[in-house]
Amino acid sequence: AVPVRNDERLFERRIRTLVAAQGFTEVYNHSFVSEEQALAFGFNPDEHVRVANPISSEQGLMRLSLLPNIVRNIRDNLRHFGEFRLFELGFEIHKRSSGLPDEILHLVAAVFRKDDGRANLAELKRLALCLMPGCEARPSAARSFEHPARAAGLHWQGALVGRLFELYPGVVEGRAGILDIDLRAMKEHQPG
């Protein structure tokens, strides 16, 4: 028998294929972070879902963002490469007042260069346009880990669906641009 069509899986496969076709390498990370990682990015550890029996102290919280692990991937790779592109498709896990947590699928892509990194944000904007034709990057207030002059909200079909920014100098050695897209919001606003 032909299996039932799984639209969610087809959507994820299409996103992976499009991003990989733009020269990005997929990485896989655990859905956990440590309290130190959460605090380094300005996240309140109490807002995370706590793991009842963590494997290690570095995996005591369910992640609110894919960003801490992506930054770890950047730091690991910059020891061996002067430039690279990587991405992860994964779930952010958010507490609810009752019941199971809310799992929101996100795409986080990064472009890293040890040089001035001027082209990083342009490459990520091009990737965003491949995924969401006509999207706009509008300047917005930077978060603590974002470069104050290089942070934007990503708008598509009248909704805020993500962020485009450069990491604050000192977070990593070199220049790293980041694209973070809420794929649930993207899918909800796709034209018919």
Question: What pLDDT shows up at residue 3?
Answer: 86
- For the record, the structure tokens of 39 come out as 């605090």
Considering only residues 191 and 11, tell me which one the structure prediction assigns the higher pLDDT: 11
Average pLDDT estimate for 118-133: 94
The model's pTM:
0.92
Residues 6+ apart with CB under 8 A from 28: 88
Dihedral angle sign, alpha carbons of residues 3, 8, 9, 11: positive
Share of the chain above pLDDT 90, in %: 78
The pLDDT tens digits of the residues spanning 3-35 come to 899 999 999 999 999 999 999 999 999 999 999
Question: What pLDDT shows up at residue 192?
Answer: 66
Considering only residues 191 and 182, tell me which one the structure prediction assigns the higher pLDDT: 182
Tell me the chain's radius of gyration from C-alpha atoms. 17
pLDDT at position 97 over 70: yes
Measured CA distances, 27 to 39, 66, 89, 191 (Å)? 23, 11, 8, 29
Measured CA distances, 32 to 55, 63, 66, 187 (Å)? 10, 5, 9, 25
